[in-house]
Structure 1
Amino acid sequence: MNNRLKVLNKSPFQKLTVFASALALLSGCSYKNFTEQEVKAESIKTKSNVQYDKSKQNDGEDSAKPNIVYIVLDDSGYSDLGSYGSEIQTPNLDMLAENGLRYNNSHVTPVCSPTRAALLTGRNPHDIGMATVANFDMGPEYPNKRGRINPEAGTIAEVLKEEGYNSYALGKWHLSPSHQATPAGPYENWPLGKGFDRFYGILEDSSDQYKPELVQDNSFIDVPEKENYHFSEDIVDKANQYVTDQASISPEKPFFLYLAFGAQHQPVQVPQEYIDKYKGVYDKGWDKIRDERFNKQKELGIIPNNSVLAPLNPGVKPWDQLTNDEKRAFARLQETYAGFLTHTDEQIGRFIENLESVGELDNTMIVFLSDNGASAMGKATGSINHTLAYNDLPETINDIVENIDNFGTDKTKVEFPAGWAQVSNTPFKLYKSTMYEAGTKTPMIVYYPKAIKEKGAIRDQYVHVSDITPTVYDLAGIELPKEIKGVKQIPLHGESFSDTLSNSQAAGKDTQYYENNGQRAIYHDGWKAIALHTKGQPYENDVWQLYHLADDPTESNNLAAKYPEKLKGLQKLWDKEAKKYDVLPMTDIMGDGFLVIPSDSYRARKTFTFYPGMSLLPEGASPFIINRPYSITVPINREKSDDGVLLALGNYESGYTLYIKDNKLVYEYNVGTSVFRIEADAPVGQSTIKYEFNPTNLHKGIGSLFINGNEAGNVTIDQTHKFKISFEGLDIGRDTHYPVSPVYENEGDFDFSGELEKVVYELQ
């Protein structure tokens, strides 16, 4: 009696916790303390089995057309979710899986922008201008690599607009060329230019989670002044606002919402409490965790029982061969990654809970996926510096260990080492960017109560990301318009898999080509051929491999020598598909894609003039100064007490800054491993300050500082950035977000208090 009263007197949340814990004990599961989000996920799961009477919420009837939600993670591998074999806590995504369908043979492109373009248009990425990441605009000579979606391939937002939908995009965009991500546009490739009614998020490939370069609609905005701000939480707050506003004001209208998290992409940043959830979990190392995930995947039916676990990737040491420092640091890096994913899942749970609370969950189709496999950008040691990783500059294990207490904070921008990336990609070999399954095979969960009766089932049909939007059109009874904004539309390339929602025996896709930066593959009817390309070599010299995925899903047995005729047939099929979908011409660029400045872009100018008050200009749209002579001229008028930043690009990781403090004029160039500095007495009165850089070799040069035409100092810079200077943009007359120099890190934006006329870049 007393125990019963104790339960009855608890809050609803506490009752659910007690109930869930008792249920776990009765079912033979080990007891654990359920988090509030896990309990909410269980509550929503139970409610999803009950028909919700929407008429009680508003005076309208259920919309004949479903709401559509796409949820996309970044760089999350095949095995990272609990419902796909992981020990990481993802109760809300697992709830969607338990009440929807898991697709265990779903594929994407091996990098992010092409996947997102294919998802939003229902077409193959080459044919619509997005063959590789949007950072790389290869110019008019490469129409398949312009970093934008051609207007002939209308997005789902543009199509649904004609069907009475409101459309919202939140989070990562990365579907417009970096050089167009300026405060003055052009805007035609931003989300609103592609059919969305509202946008809130970032335009580029990745972002700091605590101080993102935020855009709302068509404007850059300041980060909200909110205690414990986090980007993932912010975009879900905004998503919930959009949904609630529509449900309150226009409940008769359906909506499309694209929720694209920056997680799990580097930098991995999350509050400490989420990291602490996994304290000690990864001390056993990546070999054992990988084995555990592999075995659980078999138990769940995610992979066939005859699957073979791929061996450790080249360069990945067995855990027991690591030093104690390496084990300690690498375990903490994985704790941080796991905490980041649990935090992301919690935000997804908040979004689902809000859908349910406004009566829209039962009339909503949710499709969840990751844009590609897990990344090996952290290399052997892991990374604490976003820019170093992108510039192929080494980081030492000593640097990693020294910063172990800063993992997840705003003081580091971490990525786990390649050994943990392979764990994320269990049971496959290699990583993101490759043509192997590790790069292209990711989870896909479809939740749609009105069409799915076999809840919690697994579907093994071959599905490609380009098939998702055609499936939505099919289910909603929507025909692709012949024209959008007066532009004739090309046909959809994807194939609807709507039959699989109700029929486990329905056919899947039989053919899909792949190509990324010169790497190629083709899938057909259970077989897959992969061309191994060496950068700079003729494509006809590529060595091809052959795998029978129907029997060998982890690509462990190369059958090229055994079945040469089968391989020849697939090679011919790749050629056919490549011609059909404008895959040619190919390029084998990698990081050097950052160095290509198309002649028709704003960034091709030789002179740039910026004025005080200009909004932050993202680095990818800033003057391109890598490996070229250039000068920066700054006319000022100051009194002896005036100080502050004249210009700054970057943050504490890397960048350059020109500032005056304590009557000293200082230029600093931070490559990430070293800081090169010039200091001189600051001028008083009307003065012209000029900085010049003259290369002496590749990634080296001499920087000189002039005051009124007289040299005031110089420095030999023996390492400049190879590909990208920073992940934070250019400020004029101040340094927003994170400071480039620690000298003024306690000065806020450190606005220049004198008169600054302009900043002029001249490039040779």
Structure 2
Amino acid sequence: MHSGWKVLSSSPFQKLTIFASSLALLSGCALKNPLETEVKAESSKQPSHQSKTENSENKADAEKPNFIYIVLDDSGFSDLATFGSEIQTPNLDHLAENGIRYNNFHVTPVCSPTRASLLTGRNPHDVGMATVANFDMGPDLPNKRGRIKPEAGTVAEVLKENDYSTFALGKWHLSPSHQATAAGPYENWPLAKGFDRFYGFLEDSSDQYKPELVKDNSFIETPEDEDYHFSEDIVNQANQYVTDHASIDPDKPFFMYLAFGAQHQPVQVPEKYIDMYDGKYDEGWDKIREERFERQKELGIIPENTKLAPLNPGVKPWNELSEDEKEAFTRFQETYAGFLTHTDEQIGRLVDQLEAVDELEDTMIVFLSDNGASSMGKATGSINHTLAYNDIPESLTDIVDRVDDIGSDKTKSEFPAGWAQVSGTPFKLYKSTMYGAGVKSPLIISYPKGLKDKGAVRNQFAHAIDVTPTIYDLAGIELPKEIKGVKQMPLQGESFAETFEDDEVSTRDTQYFENNGQRAIYSEGWKAIAKHVPKTPYEKDVWELYHVAEDVSESKNLAADNPKKLKELQKLFDKEAKKYGVMPMSDIMGDGFLKIPEDSLRAKNQFTFYPGMSRLPEGAAPLIINRSYSITVPIIRKNENDEGVLLALGSSESGYTLYIKDNKLIYEYNRGNAVYKIESNQEVPVGISTVSFEFEHTAPHQGNGKLYINKEAVGETNIEETHKFKLSFEGLDIGKDSNYPVSKNYKDEDFDFTGEIDKVIYDIK
């Protein structure tokens, strides 16, 4: 527990009510861990390393602050207690009470572009990250290559040239999915982008209990610990990095990028954190949203005259829901809240470690979310995020039957859209949109040595592209003209360091937004939003106009009242779009998963994989959706007892697997809500043989599957519906099915193939 922190005797929720009525009362009062009930006595802190002195050879370095970016994923504007929530976030409360909060901070509406802007200080289109890194749209769309251009050096690259140590942990999602292989290419991985160390995952999301982990430039196995959780693991690693650094080279500053998988689906957290919120959400999302709204006004997060947006289309009032719906939807939100409290606890552990090694005073922490809360759970919520990604409805009955599994490793959960709107209070709509719920993020800056106006709320406009220029400003660093021999683009963000001491100084006043055809422009307190219907001409978009300086929640569309201002902003968008590489626009969504650029390793028609290959992430595996293909496996069975998995892609929620059991060859396609199974009508012979599976694509998202043994057909079935966009969030194994097994037929067994596999050959027709 931080020195000087107190614990109030009231309950956490009573504490929050007190906090909402008087910010000053709670200055410096926060719980490190809401689960703890004992107060540790304060003890004098002994430095763990020699203090930095004027006589140090590295005096210049010693005077430079450390910097830490902490990024949450899919967490809404109102989710933190200091931004109006009832969710317990005491460690972030403490950072806010001893730092500065920004209530007019903006990001992009999806994750990869925000992260690219944050790490480079430049607009996402201009650096090649117009949308999520899963989508590499090829050379014809250079702003959608799923990677950061070498001309846009990252903050890690720049700081490394200025004698900083650099660490990245958690979610990366800044390299194309087809490059996420154990064999590279590595040029867009963290170490190639300026980081000395990396520990985390490369793609958009990860299971919290069994992630596909990468350490530096190598895939590693998930730790076999029944109490494992990814958020805890990355903070364990972060604390190790900090401790080693402070112990061995304390005069050298460091930069850390800590990007949690939370609060992105799958929402998974130990049961005790869910239990903390038992009964808290029984009153429903209408009541909770109204309470957050009032609290935000009391805290000064929104103006008193702000209007609360009405319920989003498709969201029912809570009192119109059935009892089954209320039971399931309450559990979803209890889990989300517990997940955030658990994440906050991990942040507290990092802050404690910084304090323990005498680095906290010299460290500036920047906390934000990459975009607003996701509505991918739709009306009912989701317990299978592969189904959610493929726009496949989930049965409320299935959800209710498994309500107790929500948050565990048995589900991959996402809350209903009604709770997503609560996260975005007071705004309308969600992540992926240009409204406040999609592009406004809480921002907290904590810098014990450098901030005087502690606990303040700032109203000035800022954007993710402004953070890194602010860092350079504070560190006295100029952007190098070249990095690794590549001429650098100018910064496009601007430092807002002056706002640390001045609540009236002006900041940058214009920023465009665009993602997958949706677009908006902000300028001097006004905002214009174009509502685009996918696959229709952009000229037919309907524009809305909001005076957000007076109407924070975008409640009154002024397009008809002020056409002159709207026209002015439309012209400004065109100017900014031309300036920053927004054109050409494309309105891809899930179909972006199906695009394979010709210059990728995935663009082959034949793949040969060998036993012992590291798991290949799904985004780099052969793309079989809406294609005819075959999988051929030459094998040797020494005797009739040789059996097991020949290959498997996916997990218990979705995927496909080919295996031998009880001498029969079996193929299963697990769609998530249906399983298509073929079992051979003959036994697989002992000795040398070739087994194979062939799929004939007969119509969109369906086809006929056949099994063969030594080229003789031994079974077939019609696969009535395949996935539309993405097969799974777990990759391809050869000779085994690691992490979560695709088939229930061997779910409790160590089912590696005990015979010999020569190779596995995919032929895409």
With the shorter chain as reference, the TM-score category is over 0.9
Instruction: State the match for 1:8 in structure 2.
Output: none
Q: Which amino acid aligns with 1:562?
A: D
Instruction: State the match for 1:3 in structure 2.
Output: none
Answer whether contact 1:52 1:362 (CA < 8 A) is retained: no
Instruction: State the match for 1:672 in structure 2.
Output: 672
Q: Which amino acid aligns with 2:689?
A: S
Aligned equivalents of 1:252 and 1:406: distance in 2?
Answer: 48
Cα distance, 1:28–1:568 mapped onto 2, change above 3 Å: closer
Q: Which amino acid aligns with 2:717?
A: V
Aligned equivalents of 1:36 and 1:128: distance in 2?
Answer: 39
SS in 2 for 1:553: coil
Cα distance, 1:90–1:761 mapped onto 2, change above 3 Å: same
Instruction: State the match for 1:657 in structure 2.
Output: 657
Instruction: State the match for 2:578 in structure 1.
Output: 579
SS in 1 for 2:170: strand
SS in 2 for 1:273: helix
Cα distance, 1:15–1:464 mapped onto 2, change above 3 Å: closer
Aligned equivalents of 2:715 and 2:75: distance in 1?
Answer: 48
SS in 1 for 2:504: coil
Give runs of aligned pairs for residues 537-686 of structure 1, distance below 5 A: 537-638=536-637, 639-680=639-680, 681-686=683-688
Instruction: State the match for 2:22 in structure 1.
Output: none
Deviation at 1:683, TM superposition (A): 2.7
Aligned equivalents of 1:570 and 1:44: distance in 2?
Answer: 56
Q: Which amino acid aligns with 1:521?
A: A
Moved more, 219-228 or 711-720: 219-228
Q: Does residue 1:742 correspond to 2:744, yes or no?
A: yes
Task: Give a deviation string over 1:654-687, Cα, whole Å, max 9, x none.
Answer: 0000001121211000111110001012232110
Cα distance, 1:567–1:25 mapped onto 2, change above 3 Å: closer
Answer whether contact 1:172 1:204 (CA < 8 A) is retained: yes
SS in 1 for 2:301: coil
Answer whether contact 2:646 2:736 (CA < 8 A) is retained: yes
Aligned equivalents of 1:70 and 1:689: distance in 2?
Answer: 51
Deviation at 1:421, TM superposition (A): 0.1
Aligned equivalents of 2:96 and 2:66: distance in 1?
Answer: 18
SS in 2 for 1:362: coil
Answer whether contact 2:634 2:688 (CA < 8 A) is retained: yes
Answer whether contact 1:631 1:693 (CA < 8 A) is retained: yes
SS in 2 for 1:529: strand
Aligned equivalents of 2:496 and 2:249: distance in 1?
Answer: 31
Aligned equivalents of 1:366 and 1:215: distance in 2?
Answer: 25
Deviation at 1:509, TM superposition (A): 1.9
Cα distance, 1:200–1:21 mapped onto 2, change above 3 Å: same
SS in 1 for 2:602: helix
SS in 1 for 2:344: helix
Cα distance, 1:44–1:488 mapped onto 2, change above 3 Å: farther
Deviation at 1:13, TM superposition (A): 11
- Gaps of at least 5 residues in structure 2 are 20-25
Q: Does residue 1:282 correspond to 2:281, yes or no?
A: yes
Instruction: State the match for 1:456 in structure 2.
Output: 455
Aligned equivalents of 2:253 and 2:8: distance in 1?
Answer: 36
Aligned equivalents of 2:136 and 2:621: distance in 1?
Answer: 15
Give runs of aligned pairs for residues 108-127 of structure 1, distance below 5 A: 108-127=107-126
Aligned equivalents of 2:4 and 2:539: distance in 1?
Answer: 66
Instruction: State the match for 2:360 in structure 1.
Output: 361
SS in 1 for 2:514: strand
Aligned equivalents of 1:41 and 1:193: distance in 2?
Answer: 45
Aligned equivalents of 2:557 and 2:45: distance in 1?
Answer: 51
Q: 2:33 aligns with which of 33, 37, 40?
A: 37
Task: Give a deviation string over 1:543-588, Cα, whole Å, max 9, x none.
Answer: 1000000111111100001110110010000000001000001000
Task: Give a deviation string over 1:140-188, Cα, whole Å, max 9, x none.
Answer: 0000000000000000000001110000000000000000000000001
Cα distance, 1:670–1:545 mapped onto 2, change above 3 Å: same
SS in 2 for 1:37: coil
Deviation at 1:18, TM superposition (A): 6.7
Over the aligned positions, Cα root-mean-square deviation in angstroms equals: 2.5
Aligned equivalents of 2:717 and 2:139: distance in 1?
Answer: 39
Cα distance, 1:418–1:301 mapped onto 2, change above 3 Å: same
Aligned equivalents of 1:25 and 1:337: distance in 2?
Answer: 20
Instruction: State the match for 2:169 in structure 1.
Output: 170
Q: Which amino acid aligns with 2:671?
A: V
Flag as ranges the 4+ runs of structure 1 deviating above 3 A: 12-30, 32-36, 38-47, 50-62
Answer whether contact 2:631 2:762 (CA < 8 A) is retained: yes
Give the TM-score of the pair, scaled to structure 2.
0.95
Answer whether contact 2:2 2:352 (CA < 8 A) is retained: no
Deviation at 1:451, TM superposition (A): 2.2
Instruction: State the match for 2:263 in structure 1.
Output: 264
Q: Does residue 1:698 correspond to 2:700, yes or no?
A: yes
- Gaps of at least 5 residues in structure 1 are 1-11
Aligned equivalents of 2:607 and 2:13: distance in 1?
Answer: 64
Aligned equivalents of 1:299 and 1:465: distance in 2?
Answer: 26
Task: Give a deviation string over 1:594-617, Cα, whole Å, max 9, x none.
Answer: 011111111110000000000000
Moved more, 683-692 or 581-590: 683-692
Cα distance, 1:41–1:361 mapped onto 2, change above 3 Å: farther
Aligned equivalents of 2:280 and 2:7: distance in 1?
Answer: 25
Task: Give a deviation string over 1:9-66, Cα, whole Å, max 9, x none.
Answer: xxx9999877755999999959x9996525999999999xx99988755776781100
Q: Does residue 1:137 correspond to 2:130, yes or no?
A: no
Q: Which amino acid aligns with 1:643?
A: E
Answer whether contact 2:518 2:532 (CA < 8 A) is retained: yes
Task: Give a deviation string over 1:311-333, Cα, whole Å, max 9, x none.
Answer: 00000000000000000100010
Aligned equivalents of 1:69 and 1:597: distance in 2?
Answer: 35
SS in 2 for 1:291: helix
Answer whether contact 1:57 1:358 (CA < 8 A) is retained: no
SS in 2 for 1:515: strand
Q: Which amino acid aligns with 2:729?
A: F
Q: Which amino acid aligns with 1:446?
A: I
Cα distance, 1:144–1:288 mapped onto 2, change above 3 Å: same
SS in 2 for 1:602: coil
Instruction: State the match for 1:752 in structure 2.
Output: 753
Q: Which amino acid aligns with 1:707?
A: I
Instruction: State the match for 1:400 in structure 2.
Output: 399
Q: Does residue 1:225 correspond to 2:224, yes or no?
A: yes
Instruction: State the match for 1:181 in structure 2.
Output: 180
Answer whether contact 2:81 2:88 (CA < 8 A) is retained: yes
Moved more, 59-68 or 361-370: 59-68
Answer whether contact 1:181 1:618 (CA < 8 A) is retained: yes
Aligned equivalents of 2:747 and 2:39: distance in 1?
Answer: 46
Answer whether contact 2:47 2:357 (CA < 8 A) is retained: no
Deviation at 1:745, TM superposition (A): 1.1
Cα distance, 1:25–1:382 mapped onto 2, change above 3 Å: closer
Aligned equivalents of 2:42 and 2:173: distance in 1?
Answer: 37
Instruction: State the match for 2:97 in structure 1.
Output: 98
Aligned equivalents of 1:195 and 1:313: distance in 2?
Answer: 42
Answer whether contact 2:31 2:90 (CA < 8 A) is retained: no
SS in 1 for 2:101: strand
SS in 1 for 2:62: coil
Aligned equivalents of 2:473 and 2:9: distance in 1?
Answer: 39
Task: Give a deviation string over 1:229-273, Cα, whole Å, max 9, x none.
Answer: 000000000000000000000001100000000000000000000
Aligned equivalents of 2:420 and 2:113: distance in 1?
Answer: 21
Cα distance, 1:516–1:39 mapped onto 2, change above 3 Å: same
Aligned residue pair count:
749
Aligned equivalents of 1:159 and 1:193: distance in 2?
Answer: 13
Task: Give a deviation string over 1:524-547, Cα, whole Å, max 9, x none.
Answer: 000000001111111111110000
Task: Give a deviation string over 1:362-420, Cα, whole Å, max 9, x none.
Answer: 00000000000000000000000010000000001101101111011100010000000
Give the TM-score of the pair, scaled to structure 1.
0.95
Instruction: State the match for 2:528 in structure 1.
Output: 529
Cα distance, 1:66–1:44 mapped onto 2, change above 3 Å: farther
Answer whether contact 1:41 1:91 (CA < 8 A) is retained: no
Instruction: State the match for 1:7 in structure 2.
Output: none
Instruction: State the match for 1:9 in structure 2.
Output: none
Answer whether contact 2:48 2:356 (CA < 8 A) is retained: no
Answer whether contact 1:110 1:434 (CA < 8 A) is retained: yes
